A and B are shown apart, each in its own frame.
Chain A
Amino acid sequence: MTDLKDVRVGVVTFPGTLDDRDAARAVKLAGGTPVSLWHDEADLKNVDAVIIPGGFSYGDYLRAGAIAAKAAVMSKVIDAANSEAALPVLGICNGFQILTESHLLPGSMIKNDHRKFICRDQVLRIDTNETSWTSQYEKGQEIVVPLKNQDGQYVADPATLEELEAENRVAFRYVGFNPNGSRNDIAGITNKRGNVVGLMPHPEHAVEPGFGPSSVGSGEDVALRAGADGLGVFTSALQAIINK
């Protein structure tokens, strides 16, 4: 593959998914081709990567992400992510919760420590760029993307946290302000092979000047809603696939 346009990125829709059209727009703005995947079909339609977008799949009934993890499409996603080809998979917000419920990523999310929904422009640090979804960033680079959730407090047992840190698998870390009480200020993590990444904040809402946050980097102001720091997440995956 040489042309970004030829890269097909699947975007899964569950009942209750909210940010699927936003994720598809982000793929398009990054130069790729978004492909809709339906929760109830065990078919990945030959995509080169998969995004599991945010929302409230199945109404967050039982536990956020718990029912979605058992959906037909997820069995295919899990197999492909674990296969030798190591399909790049990104879970955003509820998608991150689905990835932990699917055991593609360790740990879990519980209610924010302040018990409220929160929407804010959040500074994150890229703590590893050795993943399919962060390769276009510098290690240590700070970016601003919107955060919006009610169940965003990342928790894991001490051994898991230690392992994540030791193996350099914290992909995104909250900087300056921990908005939900997450352990070790963790905003996003990756699996051992770096193809699966999950994060609570929403990079797909910082991809288009005019409709993103009003700051970038470590919080510097830019023109009104001009922040597009999240685009790198999507270009990273497209480049990784092209370079293969």
Chain B
Amino acid sequence: MSDKQFNLDTVENAAATPETELPWAELGLKENEFEDIKKLLGRRPTAAELAMYSVMWSEHCSYKSSKIHLKQFGQKVTDEMKKDLMVGIGENAGVLNIGNGWAVTFKIESHNHPSYVEPYQGAATGVGGIVRDIISMGARPVAVMDPLRFGNIDHPDTARVLPGVVSGIGGYGNSLGLPNIGGEVEFDDSYQANPLVNALAVGVMRHEDIRLANASGVGNKVIMFGARTGGDGIGGASVLASESFDDSKPSKRPAVQVGDPFAEKVLIECCLELFKGEVIEGIQDFGAAGISCATSEMASNGEGGMHVDLTKVLLRDPTLTPGEILMSESQERMMAVVTPENLSRFEDIMKKWDVEYSILGEVTDTGRLVIEWDGQVIVDVDPKTVAHDGPTYDRPYARPDWQDRLQADHFVGSEADSERPVGDNLGQAIIDFMGSANMADKSWITNQYDRYVQGNTALSMPDDSGVIRVDEETGAGVALSTDANPRFTYLDPYEGARASLAEAYRNVATVGARPAAVSDCLNFGSPEDPDVMWQFVEAVRGIADGCQELGVPVTGGNVSLYNQTSGKAINPTPVVAMLGVMDDVAARVPSGWSVAEDGQAIYLLGTTRDELDGSEWARYKGHLGGQPPKVDLQHEKTLASVLNVLNRDQMITSAHDVSAGGLAGALAEASLRFGVGARLSLAEVAERDGLDTFTLLFSESLGRVLVSVPHNVEARFKDLVSARGLAVARLGVVDNEINAIEIQGETSISLDKLRESWSSALSSRFGEVAQG
């Protein structure tokens, strides 16, 4: 008997009192959804059942507005694309075979709304949640990455959100012993009051260690272990992540979870020991919707029945009601299914790691999820109706009536384009531009993350991808890049999403890896706005078509909707995480030339077109309109395969993707990477592409990479690249003496001045810290 006495709303009581008023609207359910629940049950739900359905049928958990579109990711996959896929969409994370008995699993998720309300804890628990998804697959987490988007860098609220988010990610990830190997940082007014905090984790396992979330084996024990359940995060998924912010409502701070990285670190080691000892039959983490989600998902993925005694849940706050216990999103908790024979081994491992656990109940064959409180049944449902049969909406969508007007508003000829810098003004313009929020050095952020722990980091920021060694014997490993171009996506959601995919694909190839799989995090405004819904539909179609054309499968991901405040939606932001495979990570190349490359030739692969719309330069000048750059995925495939060959044959010593900031940005970054200058002549390539120097430098045409090439392989390099039909132009040479980027006939840019401008943008606003 529990010593707590509630006015328990039992199943029996619910059947007898059909007229009782229930707070379904306050819990975020729509009237039609509440009616559906009553139909499914044949009676009104109990208070506890209502709590479960409300969280599991929320946008965040049920994908009710997005799932009819997300289906394409599964439909547009060929058998060839799936050949290395060991676990696909639908599980906690996708799993890819990378050879020699090794598998990797990775996934990206959002923690946007909590991070705005409470930046430190929101961002910290975002890392915690994605890491538990990776553990749930049976893997050891080996790295994290964080694509971040904030409002204007000079807005006072950015000074509240950014430092909190960064220390939250560092505070949690560093304490887990996970290297942070990359991500993105973008500042744009569209994220004011709607910052995006996405988190990626990657894990490694042997093939035989893959675990899935299902509860099978009648009579097996259902055990909850890890941290105790408290009152934090109640309604996090249903209320916080599934609604727009609005000034008229009270602060939702209590809905943000609170993290304890120490508890999670212990949980990681303890779970890995459980896997190694083959002690458990199934495992599931507690994420959004807490026990409601874990019990209903595990039961419906297994043999369909589970009996749970809720009074057995270990509590941090003894005053919680059964409904609150079911909804709590307290962190660092896991659920396992264990055979009675393995129970004592399970208990030994818990004891060794000093982890609390309690046996909640067992797997049954009734097809029902039954939850009791003090012997009284408060939940009796078919778990599939909770976990999988939530509502599906085909929300109305239509191309916005302003889209044509937007696309007709080109940068070229606009007021923002009235003064183009030339000659020495061009040099100063590049120095100032590199000090702007989006081009500037981000080491103020990344120096607060541990990039060394685990000793397998072969590459991390600021290079084009993070690279992690998986196999210490052979050196095999993976490369990861996350990319989004929300401005291109705003101008044309289909093409913009494909451009983001192309960039991630290119970035992985640039460091020397073969692109192999995608996880995506789709951040959009309200699906109830047909304009936003159209952006979403187009972007999903763009990624699905693009993945099919590139031959890389989508393995999972996450959708974050309602990123809008007071009616204003964020720029549509589909973040694409690409995973690539490397036979030996020793072959990876950095994004710039060092002293050792002094005198080597600098080449540009790919052609530049007059494509300034949506560019970083246009943003710098306050313009957003026109058409995004043309996406040519066949060209991207050729480029990636050529880069793979160049890398394998050691014909390039550095490689840098030409993207934000165009060729000007790429040249500046490649020179600043190790502080080594270059002498360049751009006239020939400008003439070849029919462009003036300014357009050549700032256009953001896709499919271009800057490489440095040793003299003794230059002839072979040119032959190989030309034979594959790629445009190639020699821009000049690396020069360690001049300490400048010299553009013949135009300007000479002092590296000291460039570095000063580039490196001070964040520290001058968010406070000095020791720079690396």
A14-34 interface bits toward B, Cβ cutoff 8 Å, 1 = contact, 0 = none? 011011011001000000000
User: Which of B11-19, B149-157, B166-174 lies at the interface?
Assistant: B166-174
Q: Is the CB of A119 within 8 A of B261?
A: no
Q: Which of chain B's residues have a CB closer than 8 A to the CB of A205?
A: 452-453, 455
Q: In the complex, which of the residues A60, A119, A121, A177 contacts B450, with contact meaning CB atoms closer than 8 Å?
A: A119
Q: Which residue of A lies closest to B443 (CB)?
A: A120
Q: Which of chain A's residues have a CB closer than 8 A to the CB of B269?
A: 15
Q: Which residue of B lies closest to A223 (CB)?
A: B596
Q: Which residue of A lies closest to B447 (CB)?
A: A119
Q: Is the CB of B453 within 8 A of A210?
A: no
Q: Taking the complex as formed, is B84 at the interface, i.e. its CB lies under 8 A from any CB of chain A?
A: no
Q: Is the CB of A114 within 8 A of B266?
A: no
Q: Is the CB of B447 within 8 A of A118?
A: yes
Q: Is the CB of B452 within 8 A of A117?
A: no
B456-475 interface bits toward A, Cβ cutoff 8 Å, 1 = contact, 0 = none? 11110000000001000000
User: Which of B195-203, B429-437, B545-553, B764-772 lies at the interface?
Assistant: B764-772
Q: Is the CB of A224 within 8 A of B594?
A: yes
Q: In the complex, which of the residues B261, B449, B469, B768 contacts A56, with contact meaning CB atoms closer than 8 Å?
A: B261
Q: Is the CB of A119 within 8 A of B451?
A: yes
Q: Is the CB of A211 within 8 A of B455?
A: yes
Least CB distance from B127 to A in Å reads 14
B603-642 at interface with A (beta carbon < 8 Å)? none
Number of CB contacts from chain A to chain B under 8 A: 105
Q: Taking the complex as formed, is A111 at the interface, i.e. its CB lies under 8 A from any CB of chain B?
A: no
Q: Is the CB of B455 within 8 A of A204?
A: yes
A107-130 at interface with B (beta carbon < 8 Å)? 114, 116-121
Q: Which of chain A's residues have a CB closer than 8 A to the CB of B769?
A: 114, 116, 118
- A224 vs B594: C-alpha distance when bound (angstroms): 9
Q: Which residue of B lies closest to A177 (CB)?
A: B770
Q: Taking the complex as formed, is B217 at the interface, i.e. its CB lies under 8 A from any CB of chain A?
A: no
Q: Which of chain A's residues have a CB closer than 8 A to the CB of B449?
A: 117, 119
Q: Is the CB of B354 within 8 A of A15?
A: yes
Q: Is the CB of A202 within 8 A of B768?
A: no
Least CB distance from A90 to B in Å reads 17
Q: Which of chain A's residues have a CB closer than 8 A to the CB of B660?
A: none
Q: Is the CB of A224 within 8 A of B170?
A: no
Q: Taking the complex as formed, is B175 at the interface, i.e. its CB lies under 8 A from any CB of chain A?
A: yes
If A114-B770, A119-B449, A211-B469 touch, does A15 touch B454 (CB 8 Å cutoff)? no
Q: Which of chain A's residues have a CB closer than 8 A to the CB of B457?
A: 211, 225
A-B contact pairs, 27 of them (CB 8 A): A15-B262, A15-B353, A16-B175, A16-B265, A16-B266, A18-B177, A19-B177, A21-B455, A22-B453, A25-B455, A56-B175, A59-B262, A114-B767, A117-B448, A117-B450, A118-B769, A119-B772, A120-B771, A148-B174, A148-B453, A150-B174, A179-B770, A205-B455, A208-B455, A210-B585, A221-B674, A224-B594
Given contacts A60-B262, A223-B594, 17 further A-B contacts (CB under 8 A): A16-B175, A18-B175, A19-B177, A22-B455, A58-B262, A59-B175, A59-B262, A59-B263, A61-B262, A114-B768, A119-B446, A121-B772, A179-B770, A205-B452, A207-B455, A211-B456, A225-B457
**B positions within 8 Å CB-CB of A:** 167, 170-171, 174-177, 260-263, 265-266, 269, 352-354, 446-459, 469, 585-586, 588, 590, 594-596, 674, 767-772
